[in-house]
Copies of this chain bind each other. A is one copy, B any other.
Amino acid sequence: MAEAGKKAIQSAHHLPVDSIYIGAMNVEEFVGDGNFAALLADYMGLSGVASSRVETACSTGAAVFESAFYAVASGYMKNVLVVAGEKMSHLPKTTTARILTEVIDREERRYGATMSALAGMIAHRYQKEFGLSDKRLRKVLARVVEKNSANGTLNPYARAKRTITKEVYERGRLIATPLRLFDCSPNADGAAAVVLTCEKTPIRVSGMGHATDTMALRHRASITSFSSTRASALKAYAMAQLNPRDIQFAEVHDAFSIFEIIGTEDLGFFESGQGWRAVEDGTTALDGRLPINPSGGLLARGHPAGASGLAQIVEIAMMMLGEVEGKRQIKWADVGLAQSAGALANNNVVTILEKSDRHRVLTTGWQPEYKPVIQVGTSDGTPGTLDDSGILETYTTLYATPEGFSPPHTLGLVGLEGGRMVLARYPKYLEKDRFKIGQRVLLKKRGESMLFETAGFLETMKNRVKSLFGRKTPREKRNQNTAP
């Protein structure tokens, strides 16, 4: 982080810094140091300078940029150094997983939900809502992974050094159905830094938006769209007086491959349910009409939680300055957008950068073309009495389970009368998931947990018992033996 910070100051021609804004998600647990804003100032040789830390889970890097922007925009600060980073690769995997899971709703955590589990449920629902076959979905997700990893090979700051072809993708183990290893951005260490200044510079912050959503997926109004991305995009476009079609390239929060697709829809680049087509037809490729994640995104860059949001912004700035190496450099790079999501898009930030010398007249006649439906969910807190059945809205089977759970671990979101949803787990009798989104399932309470059972559950149990005891169940055998 200090290295990135010093580099940023250097590239800003050593402007004197009035204040430092630090982004880091969880330094206390990852590295055991608190008081991190002061510590980093000291470490960079900037003791004395005001320093604050900002945190919004995985969108920390973008949120700290936002707060620093207000400090400069207020007129009270001339030059502000923004540094964001995370160090997380040195801990045992289970520890890192436990720490990362703290960003999830407490109740969903209790059921063994991880970020991958929630992303898996979202992917299944997307597949169902927009009518993709299993094969088609797999092809589309593999395409996102291939595109971003290929972009990443051109980025010296990326973690990935090879293109993940469809063949390699398919060999990746299942993490949370339908998501496989390469659908998930890897944990990483990293940092990014910029200097924000009131002086005239080649690039200006032209739009900015920030919004939250409910902590729990079950409280959301939609499972295939993030209202916080929509709300923050709306604010950013309005501030910039721009529309989605004005954006020339974007860094979209692809913590999971499916998030990139949903992100491009929520940002208004494509209609709902059409984002996957843009991947398939190459619209979002490096040489496409709207390059998405030319840096390689989180999938290829890696996802050092606190850094990613700012790394996106740095990528966009470097692209605009023509400082990107060789083939990765986009020809038309005057307006770029970065979208960063905190945890399950609980806390999202959209930032639009524009070249300062871009010929554009802000007119009073600007008309917003992007008019998304934004339905923020509600957490009423009172579970009330539970129905004994409901509709399976989505599900996932976890193969990479958190501590205390063993694979396969199936979680489902069950919709009740009146629109409320509950999280429930499936009892561990089936090895393969044979669930159908939209089917009616039975709900049962076991201890503190809710279980869901499919209508075919009894049938399946009977078959399993049959296979254990031969062609007939014990009862059938008994009946046969005592037959007259």
Q: Helix, strand, loop or mixed for chain A's interface?
A: mixed
Cα distance, A379 to B38, chains bound together (Å): 12
Contact status B102-A33, CB under 8 Å: yes
* Chain B CB within 8 A of A392 CB: no
Q: Which of B36, B47, B76, B214 contacts A213 (CB 8 A)?
A: B47
- Check if A75 is an interface residue, CB within 8 A of chain B: yes
Contact digits for A232-254, partner B, Cβ 8 Å, 1 yes 0 no: 10000001000000000000000
A103 touches B50 (CB 8 A): no
Contact of A38 among B39, B239, B346 (CB under 8 A): B346
Complex: A255 Cα to B374 Cα, angstroms: 46
Interface string of A431-466 (1 = CB under 8 A from B): 000000000000000000000000000000000000
Q: For the complex, what is the distance from the CA of A47 to the CA of B75, rounded to whole Å?
A: 30
State whether A49 touches B103 (Cβ < 8 A). no
Say whether B52 contacts A215, CB under 8 Å.
no
Does B37 contact A52, Cβ atoms closer than 8 Å?
no
User: Do A35 and B102 contact each other (CB < 8 Å), given the known contacts A54-B53, A75-B73?
Assistant: yes
Per-position 1/0 for A68-106, Cβ under 8 A of B:
011101111100000000000000000000010011101
Nearest CB of chain B from residue A156's CB, rounded to whole Å:
28
CA distance A212 to B46 in the complex (A): 9
User: Separation in Å of the A277 CB from the closest CB of chain B?
Assistant: 29
Within 8 A of B (CB), among A253-290: none
**Contact (Cβ within 8 A) A379 B47:** yes
Residues of B contacting A409 in the complex (Cβ-Cβ under 8 angstroms): none
Q: How far is the CA of A209 from the CA of B77 in the complex (A)?
A: 11
Which residues of B are found within 8 Å of A99, using beta-carbon distances?
A: 28, 34
- In this assembly, does A393 line the interface, its C-beta being within 8 Å of a C-beta of chain B? no
Tell yes or no: A160 within 8 A of B by CB.
Answer: no
Determine the chain B residues whose CB is within 8 A of the CB of A303 once the complex forms.
none
Inter-subunit contact B67/A71 (CB<8 Å): yes
Q: Are B76 and A57 in contact (CB under 8 A)?
A: no
What is the bound-complex CA distance between A276 and B44, given in angstroms? 36
- Closest partner residue, chain B, to A213 (CB atom): B47
> In the complex, what's the smallest C-beta–C-beta distance from A31 to chain B, in angstroms?
10
Contacts of A376 in B (CB 8 A): 47-48
B212 touches A48 (CB 8 A): yes
- The reply to whether the CB of A333 lies closer than 8 angstroms to some CB of chain B is no
Within 8 A of B (CB), among A114-144: none
Known: A67-B70, A214-B42. A377 touches B37 (CB 8 A): no
Contact B34 A57 (CB under 8 A): yes
Which 3 pairs across A and B sit closest by C-beta, in order of nearness? A50-B210, A34-B102, A38-B346
- Pairs across A and B, CB under 8 Å, 20 listed: A19-B210, A26-B34, A33-B106, A35-B215, A36-B55, A38-B56, A38-B57, A38-B212, A38-B215, A39-B215, A42-B215, A42-B379, A47-B213, A52-B56, A52-B63, A52-B66, A70-B70, A70-B74, A70-B77, A76-B208
Apart from the given pairs A38-B347, A47-B212, 10 other A-B contacts in the complex at a CB distance below 8 Å: A36-B55, A37-B55, A37-B212, A39-B215, A42-B379, A52-B210, A53-B56, A70-B71, A73-B75, A76-B239
> What residues make up the interface of A, taking CB atoms closer than 8 Å to B?
19, 25-26, 28-29, 32-39, 41-43, 45-57, 63, 66-67, 69-71, 73-77, 99, 102-104, 106, 208-215, 219, 227-228, 231-232, 239, 342-343, 346-347, 374, 376-379
